[in-house]
């Protein structure tokens, strides 16, 4: 006869996992946080529960997750307000727990239950959570975690729309210039996603807040911080390259940004035709996508029949470097290669023609 001295534990149900998570997060109250031993024990329990939640949501590397259980977890975390606890207790958690929290957050937001994103709907009923996550950029300990969580939220139009139209959005103009490079860069990434993920949402926002937005953006373009200037100039072109309509006049980003050309004219590097600035505006995308670089040149600089004189001067002064960069561009193999080469040839001819206009220097 064989004896077992250890009882095999029964797998927890989604309801039990969520209840354990809720209880451990609630235990991180004010009294516990100030008592070292009590805090250590409470954090250990939270970490253990996050590991369990993560495994149930995404599997353990050997066993795939049970999708019925995943759906049930998504419903339970909303029903028991665990999503709210995840956000508000985030500053109290350790590094491992925060990492697992962000992983679980990403899965929960994307999980559909009966064609509904229940976690997204929960946040739609508690938009203040988004404000909290934005403000957390001021806390460098959790800023990067909150940035990841925000970018997951921004994938959904309703959540992105709220942030754009909220008072919290203006804080990004401050956060992108924070002294901590990692935090500032992360804030820039979130800022960019807000302005590029959902064309219609952004179009509506810019239609209503066009002057206010660009008044703030001009400050970034003329910032004394070199990294801020470089990043904001790069994103300036990203906006222009979208070419989406907004407003009743169906003004494209490109046309709208050209109407603010005085911003670039006032920028010393741009006005002087500094090739580094030109690289930012037209060629930083080369490594990522040669066709995108060609598209930017075509749309912003070369094919525009109403180019400002300043743009013509830049193209003329830097034509050798620009032609060299264009020469190295290749669309790669495929059906679009021939069209790419034809369009590139047109751009080369236009730049070459501008380089012969000596009057531009006067």
Structure token digits, residue 217? 């953006």
Q: Which pLDDT belongs to residue 276?
A: 44
Q: What is the pLDDT of residue 360?
A: 53
- pLDDT reported for residue 121: 97
Is 264 in contact with 280 (CB distance < 8 Å)? Answer: no
Q: Taking residues 153-182, what's their average pLDDT?
A: 96
Domain ranges of the chain: 12-124
Backbone angles phi, psi at 245, to 5 degrees: -80, 150
Evaluated on CA atoms 206, 209, 211, 214, the torsion sign reads negative
Read off the pLDDT of residues 63-72 as tens digits, 9 standing for 90 and up: 888 999 999 9
What percent of the chain is modeled with pLDDT above 70?
69
Tell which residue, 84, 86, 106, 105, has the closest CA to residue 46: 86
User: Token pair for residue 120?
Assistant: 């997204």
Do the Cβ atoms of 101 and 53 come closer than 8 Å? no
Average pLDDT taken over every residue of the chain: 78
Give the pLDDT of residue 80.
Answer: 96
- CB environment 125-152: b (16+ within 10 A), e (fewer): eeeebbbbbbebbeeeebbbbbbbbbbb
Residue 280 tokens, joined: 């930012």
Q: How far is CA 18 from CA 25, 50, 78, 83, 287, in A?
A: 11, 10, 10, 10, 45
Residue 164 has pLDDT above 60, yes or no: yes
Report d(CA 14, CA 77) in Å as an integer.
Answer: 9
Chain segment 216-252, per-residue pLDDT in tens: 988 888 888 888 887 887 777 666 656 554 444 444 4
pTM for this entry: 0.72
Could you tell me which CATH number the domain at 12-124 has?
A: 1.25.10.10
Confidence of residue 4 (pLDDT cuts 50, 70, 90): very low
Average pLDDT of span 14-26: 94
Residue 290 confidence (pLDDT): 46
CA 11 to chain centre: 38
> Measured between alpha carbons, how far apart are the two ends of the chain, in Å?
103
SS3 of the chain: the string is: CCCCCCCCCCCCCHHHHHHHHHHHHHCCCHHHHHCHHHHHHHHHHHHHHHHHHHHHHHCCCCCCCCHHHHHHHHHHHHHCCHHHHHHHCHHHCCHHHHHHHHHHHHHHHHCCECCECHHHHHHHCCCHHHHHHHHHHHCCCCHHHHHHHHHHHHCCHHHHHHHHHCHHHHHHHHHCCCCCHHHHHHHHHHHHHHHHCCHHHHHHHHHHHHHHHHHHHHHHHCCCCHHHHHHHHHHHHHHHHHCCEECCCCEEHHHHHHCCHHHHHHCHHHHCCCHHHHHHHHHCCCCCCHHHHHHHHHHHHHCCCCCCHHHHHHHHHCHHHHHHHHHHCCCCCCCCHHHHHHHHHHHHHHHHHHHCCHHHHC
Q: What band does 327 get if pLDDT is binned at 50, 70 and 90?
A: confident
State pLDDT tens for residues 107-155.
Answer: 999 999 998 999 999 999 999 999 999 999 999 999 999 999 999 999 9
Question: What pLDDT, on the 0 to 100 scale, is given for residue 243?
Answer: 56
- Give the integer Cα–Cα distance in Å for 135 and 91: 12
């Amino acid at each position: 006869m064989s004896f077992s001295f250890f009882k095999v534990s029964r797998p927890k149900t989604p309801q039990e996992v969520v209840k354990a998570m809720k209880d451990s997060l609630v235990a991180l109250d004010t009294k516990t946080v100030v008592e070292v031993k009590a805090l250590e024990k409470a954090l250990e329990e939270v970490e253990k529960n996050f590991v369990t939640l993560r495994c149930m949501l995404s599997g353990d590397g050997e066993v795939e997750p049970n999708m019925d259980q995943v759906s049930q977890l998504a419903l339970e975390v909303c029903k028991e307000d665990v999503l709210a606890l995840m956000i508000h207790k985030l500053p109290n958690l350790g590094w491992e727990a925060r990492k697992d929290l962000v992983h679980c957050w990403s899965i929960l937001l994307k999980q559909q239950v009966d064609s509904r994103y229940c976690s997204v709907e929960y946040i739609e009923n508690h938009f203040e959570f988004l404000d909290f996550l934005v403000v957390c950029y001021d806390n460098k300990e959790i800023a990067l975690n909150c940035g990841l969580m925000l970018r997951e939220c921004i994938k959904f139009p309703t959540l992105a729309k709220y942030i754009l139209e909220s008072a919290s959005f203006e804080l990004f103009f401050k956060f992108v210039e924070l002294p901590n490079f990692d935090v500032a860069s992360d804030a820039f990434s979130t800022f960019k996603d807000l302005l590029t993920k959902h064309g219609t949402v952004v179009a509506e926002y810019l239609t209503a807040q066009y002057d206010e937005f660009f008044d703030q953006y001009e400050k970034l373009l003329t910032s004394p911080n070199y990294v801020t200037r470089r990043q904001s100039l790069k994103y300036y072109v990203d906006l222009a390259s979208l070419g989406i309509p907004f407003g009743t006049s169906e003004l494209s980003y490109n046309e709208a940004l050209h109407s603010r050309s005085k911003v670039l004219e006032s920028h010393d590097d741009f006005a002087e035709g500094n090739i580094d600035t030109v690289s930012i505006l037209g060629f930083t995308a080369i490594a990522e996508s040669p066709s995108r670089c060609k598209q930017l040149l075509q749309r912003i600089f070369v094919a525009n029949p109403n180019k400002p004189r300043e743009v013509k001067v830049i193209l003329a002064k830097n034509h050798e470097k620009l032609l060299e960069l264009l020469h190295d561009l290749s669309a790669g193999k495929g059906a679009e290669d021939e069209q790419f080469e034809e369009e590139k040839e047109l751009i080369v001819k236009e730049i070459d023609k501008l380089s012969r206009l000596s009057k531009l220097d006067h």
